[in-house]
Structure 1
């Protein structure tokens, strides 16, 4: 996915084209089929994900937390806290995702501090809500 296409992800929409290009360099594209487990509660969090196409369900134990749609992202809590996944995430349809490895995420937080602040704020909102 190129830098212009990243503007379709709300978290990245306010970045300049140059900043989105920095992010794009660190992303890997992944396609998965329905039923694919994208994150397993309790597993170490080594990446975060941006949903480009498709739907996924995020659940804690047996409780549905949310349905993830294009433009959403997940996995930031474990990456930010250097801990394990706090939810199970399963593809409800064929999906196209962008993944950002934890070490690249850390680099971006230093290079783009405003982006880091937004991600941390969103993580706190999720923790308080869930």
Structure 2
């Protein structure tokens, strides 16, 4: 994924050119087909995912599934502690293209680019408050 493609994602829209170049060098692109499981509760949380195309369904502790689509992210709690495990089941609802951002690289971006940290915190707060997602 190029720096220009990363800039098109809302989470990274305000990241510096240098930050985007660093990020482009560390993300892995993954594709999953509809119905394919991406994460299960208890899986190791080695990083976070950003959806660059498609839609995923997230099921948390028996709650109704929520749909996340292009521009959104999941797995961000893995950034908070190295021992974190996944807390929900994530499944591709459509063909989906994901960016897998390893924990250490995601932390480096969050530390050097305050806009990313602020956007993530706002989205996490919205999710915990049950407010509908922006994207």
User: Do they superpose with TM above 0.5?
Assistant: yes
What TM-score range do you get, normalising by the shorter chain? 0.7 to 0.9
Equivalence for 2:56: 56
Q: CA deviation at 1:63?
A: 2.1
Alignment map for 1:41-52 (pairs within 5 Å): 41-52=41-52
Measure the CA separation in 1 of the matches of 2:36 and 2:128. 24
Measure the CA separation in 2 of the matches of 1:127 and 1:42. 20
TM-score relative to the length of structure 1: 0.85
Name the Cα RMSD after superposition: 2.0
Alignment map for 1:1-130 (pairs within 5 Å): 1-82=1-82, 83-129=84-130
Answer yes or no: is the 8 Å Cα contact 2:48–2:100 preserved in 1.
yes
TM-score relative to the length of structure 2: 0.82
Answer yes or no: is the 8 Å Cα contact 1:57–1:64 preserved in 2.
no
Answer yes or no: is the 8 Å Cα contact 1:57–1:67 preserved in 2.
yes
Q: Name the count of aligned residue pairs.
A: 130
Question: Which stretches of structure 1, 4 residues or more, deviate above 6 A after TM superposition?
Answer: none
List alignment gaps of at least 5 residues for structure 2. Answer: none
List alignment gaps of at least 5 residues for structure 1. Answer: none
